[in-house]
Amino acid sequence: MTFIIDTCKNTVNMLAKRSQNVDNIELFAQEITEHVLKQYAHISHAYVDIIKHKWSRLNVDGKPHPHSFVRDGEDVQTCSVVQERAGNKITVKSGLKKLLVLKTTGSAFHGFYRDQYTTLGETWDRIFSTAVDSEWTFVAHDANTLRRVNFPAIHDSVKKVTCDTFATDDSASVQATMYLMQTQILAKHPEVAEISYALPNKHYVGMDLSKLGLDNTGKNMDIYYPQADPSGLITATVARKPDSKL
């Protein structure tokens, strides 16, 4: 087992040293799966997962510093590649994780089903905050097809659509905004076979300041605190028909 772990580690480092695609994690992951299947005839599937953290160059005296960086936000870029020997099927899943967003208005939630156990009140204006987890999938039976996909550009586009839609949509619900993001991305990128989102509710509620003689209700509400109680996790996957895949 120690030999196998050592071999895997050294293989990745060797390929990273030789590769021109380390920054393009989807392509680099395919280089690893391709190498594994060529090297070991008894292996039928090769799996690779990569997480890419975001570092931004520090600005000193208004100029980018040549060798100093800062972790700019907690969001990460991910990819998962599976390559099968049979049929040379390759599945690439790209992801955007831990993107924390918040807006102070432009979100509502009302008209939902109620029964004897419902205590949540309807609201036409609320804080909307969530930590975006998104994953989108590419499928092909030809490695050259996926080599031509501009993965970094699609990642940037997904992030932009996500942020722009979150900011500008007059949200009827988290579900409605999430679906709008997904349909826009599929319309913009025919290479993407399906896209999923997981958006947990991060509720902020008004602080009761009445005991201090202060009105923090209705239009006067501007002091909030994050709610620690369990909240909803909204998930959805929107996919094309199978014959629409690469």
> d(Cα 36, Cα 28) in Å, to the nearest integer?
13
Is 174 labeled as ligand-binding?
A: yes
Separation CA 66–CA 60 (nearest Å): 10
Does 175 belong to an annotated binding site? yes
Question: Does the annotation list 158 as a binding residue?
Answer: no
- Consult the annotation and say whether 116 binds a ligand: no
* Nearest CA-CA partner of 244 in 143, 140, 150: 140
Helical pair 25-39 and 2-18, crossing angle rounded to 10 deg: 130
Number of CB atoms found within 10 A of residue 156's CB: 13
Q: Does residue 208 have a known ligand-binding role?
A: no
Terminal-to-terminal C-alpha distance of the chain:
37
**Residue 201 marked in a binding site:** yes
* Type and span of the H or E element at 133: strand 128-140
**How far is Cα 149 from Cα 38, in angstroms, rounded to an integer?**
23
Q: Which residues are annotated as a binding site?
A: 6, 109, 126, 174-175, 201
Q: Which residues are annotated as a binding site for 5-hydroxyisourate?
A: 6, 109, 126, 174-175, 201
Q: Which residues are annotated as a binding site for urate?
A: 6, 109, 126, 174-175, 201
Q: Which residues are annotated as a binding site for O2?
A: 201
